[in-house]
């Protein structure tokens, strides 16, 4: 995962353009990707797909022709979606086109102007303060013209047409945590899930933030009813959190699964109620769709000092944090795949577990007590009304422990799955 973060990090991405296609090509080396191009000017609900933006160079040069600030050093150095410009102007005029962070004077901000035509640069406050008075040449070699918006999908069919949507935004440039980490996690998760049997169909969506999700929903409105669970993933490579933001519904299975996983596997997890601000969960959870889609992060967006700055570099992301994030999401998917309503085949009093070889007969096994208690919990609440996740929550035991107990009991013919309702 970290190697993929490293590969994605240098690419200049935006909501349209060649950077998105280049990033999808990298992801496509791991998993099959279907790329969709949506023409500029296409109406998508209340929005319109914008013109496509691409950039080849940008710089500020002093009167001697020396480049004092350039895009080639970092793709954060230019205002993302900056229109082309070539002008000579005094420093005082140039300042109005330069974005800095006075409160973080060593850092370069990430700024965009997707829907208002302007040009500009981003630099550290210290770098701006160091520029002497005089005339400067400002150059942005970019194009903004009719083209398309690009998104990619990897669909892994399952036993059911019901879908799990896993979504990550692909529009941010050199920001390692937000969101090269999310792209890498979902890519490697798809690669693993492709090798296993799947109850659900999994749809991995890599799309530009906001306009990409809106475009996908507009073009796929007839199939969104298949989405039974969903998760947006971003900022999953740093050492904060982890943080889960619930879906608009608040009690969807994905909400319960993620909260259970965090409670069992994280020291100080943070759970937020839904709010209509954040990443693309707010599009999936808009009232016209109200899909069961939550947001998983480590540090919450907008709360860590590196957010949307040049400090969100490769050093902010660590392999061990990526691994932990991966395992949390993977464990939640296991719950979605394995949660069932079960029926106790011998509900009148406890069955003789020892006689069936289900109780450990040799002492010293530190896991035996938990395993035995899990079987008792499963037997007592397998009444066709409580799912395995219900039981895990009530018993305050890891879902995997409850599921393993259920498998042992089913193997001993003491448990069976409740038949689905036909009404």
Q: Which pLDDT belongs to residue 357?
A: 87
Task: State yes or no: 238 annotated in a binding site.
Answer: no
Q: What is the pLDDT of residue 395?
A: 97
Contact 328, 402 (CB under 8 A): no
Residues 331-366, buried b or exposed e (16+ Cβ, 10 A)?
Answer: bbbebbbbbbbbebeeeeeebebeeeebeeeeeeee
What residue spans of 81-230 are helical by DSSP H?
Answer: 91-94, 125-129, 181-193, 211-219
Question: Strands 243-245 and 201-207, how do they pair?
Answer: unpaired
What is the model's pTM?
A: 0.96
Taking a C-beta distance cutoff of 8 angstroms, is the pair 258, 294 a contact? Answer: yes
Q: How far apart are CA 253 and CA 264, in angstroms?
A: 16
The conformation of residue 51, written as its DSSP 8-state character, comes to P
- The answer to whether the CB of 382 falls within 8 A of the CB of 342 is yes
Residue 46 labelled as part of a binding site = no
Contact between 254 and 247 under an 8 Å Cβ cutoff? The reply is yes
Cis omega before residue 179 (within 30°)? yes
Distance of CA 267 to the CA centre of its chain: 21
Strands 163-169 and 121-122: unpaired
Largest CA distance in the chain: 92
The predicted structure's pLDDT at residue 180 = 98
State the Cα–Cα distance between residues 159 and 201, nearest whole angstrom: 7
Give Cα separations from 354 to 114, 328, 365, 369, 404 (angstroms): 67, 34, 16, 14, 17
178 is in an annotated binding site: yes
pLDDT at residue 369 in the model: 84
pLDDT for res 359: 80
**Mean pLDDT per 10-residue section of the chain, whose length is 423 residues:** 98 98 98 98 98 98 97 97 98 98 98 97 98 98 98 98 98 97 98 98 98 98 97 98 98 98 96 97 98 98 97 98 98 98 95 86 64 95 97 97 96 90 52
pLDDT at residue 355, rounded to an integer: 87
Quick one: which H or E segment has residue 148? strand 148-156
What domains sit in the chain, N to C, each tagged with a CATH number?
2-50+148-338 (3.40.630.10), 52-145 (3.50.30.90), 341-417 (1.10.10.10)
For residue 139, give both structure tokens.
Answer: 């150059």
How many whole angstroms from its chain centre is CA 282?
Answer: 13
The strand pairing partners of 344, in sequence order, are: 415
pLDDT at 362: 47
* Cα–Cα distance, 221 to 218 (Å, whole number): 6
pLDDT of residue 419: 79
Bond preceding residue 242 cis, omega within 30 of 0: yes
Give the span between the Cα atoms of 404 and 51, in whole angstroms: 53
Question: How far does Cα 76 stand from its chain's mean position?
Answer: 22
CA separation (Å) from 8 to 2, 187, 275? 10, 12, 30
pLDDT of 91:
98
């Amino acid at each position: 995962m970290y190697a993929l973060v490293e590969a994605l990090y240098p690419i200049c991405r935006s909501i349209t353009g060649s950077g998105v296609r280049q990033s999808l090509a990298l992801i496509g080396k791991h998993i099959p990707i279907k790329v969709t191009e949506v023409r500029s000017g296409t109406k998508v609900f209340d929005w319109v797909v914008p013109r496509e933006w691409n950039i080849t160079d940008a710089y500020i040069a002093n009167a001697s022709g020396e480049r004092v600030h350039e895009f080639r050093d970092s793709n954060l150095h230019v205002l993302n979606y900056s229109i082309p410009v070539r002008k000579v102007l005094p420093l005082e005029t140039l300042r109005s086109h330069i974005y800095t962070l006075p409160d973080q004077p060593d850092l370069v901000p990430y700024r965009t102007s997707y829907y208002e035509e302007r040009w500009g640069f981003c630099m550290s406050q210290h770098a701006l303060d160091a520029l002497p008075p005089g005339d400067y040449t400002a150059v942005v070699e970019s194009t903004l013209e009719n083209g398309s918006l690009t998104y990619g999908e990897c669909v892994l069919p399952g036993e059911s047409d019901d879908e799990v949507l896993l979504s990550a935004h692909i529009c941010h440039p050199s920001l390692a945590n937000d969101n090269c980490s999310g792209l890498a996690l979902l890519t490697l998760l798809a690669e693993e899930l492709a090798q296993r049997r799947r109850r659900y169909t999994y749809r991995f969506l890599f799309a530009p933030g906001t306009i990409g999700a809106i475009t996908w929903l507009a073009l796929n409105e007839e199939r969104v009813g298949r989405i039974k669970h969903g998760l947006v993933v971003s900022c999953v490579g740093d050492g904060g959190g982890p943080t889960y933001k619930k879906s608009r519904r608040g009690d969807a299975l994905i909400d319960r699964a993620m909260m259970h996983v965090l409670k069992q596997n994280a020291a100080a997890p943070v759970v937020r109620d839904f709010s209509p601000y954040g990443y693309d969960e707010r599009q999936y959870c808009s009232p016209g769709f109200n899909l069961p889609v939550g947001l998983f992060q480590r540090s919450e967006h907008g709360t860590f000092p590196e957010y949307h700055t040049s400090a969100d570099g490769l050093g902010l992301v660590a392999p061990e944090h990526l691994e932990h994030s991966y395992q949390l999401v993977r464990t939640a998917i296991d719950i979605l795949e394995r949660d069932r309503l079960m029926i106790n085949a011998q509900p009148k009093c406890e069955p003789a577990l020892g006689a069936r070889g289900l109780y450990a007969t040799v002492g010293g096994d530190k896991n035996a007590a938990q395993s035995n208690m899990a079987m008792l919990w499963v037997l007592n609440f397998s009444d066709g009304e409580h799912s395995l996740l219900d039981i895990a929550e009530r018993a305050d035991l890891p879902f995997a422990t409850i599921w393993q107990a259920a498998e042992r009991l089913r193997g001993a013919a003491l448990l069976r799955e409740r038949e689905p309702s036909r009404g």
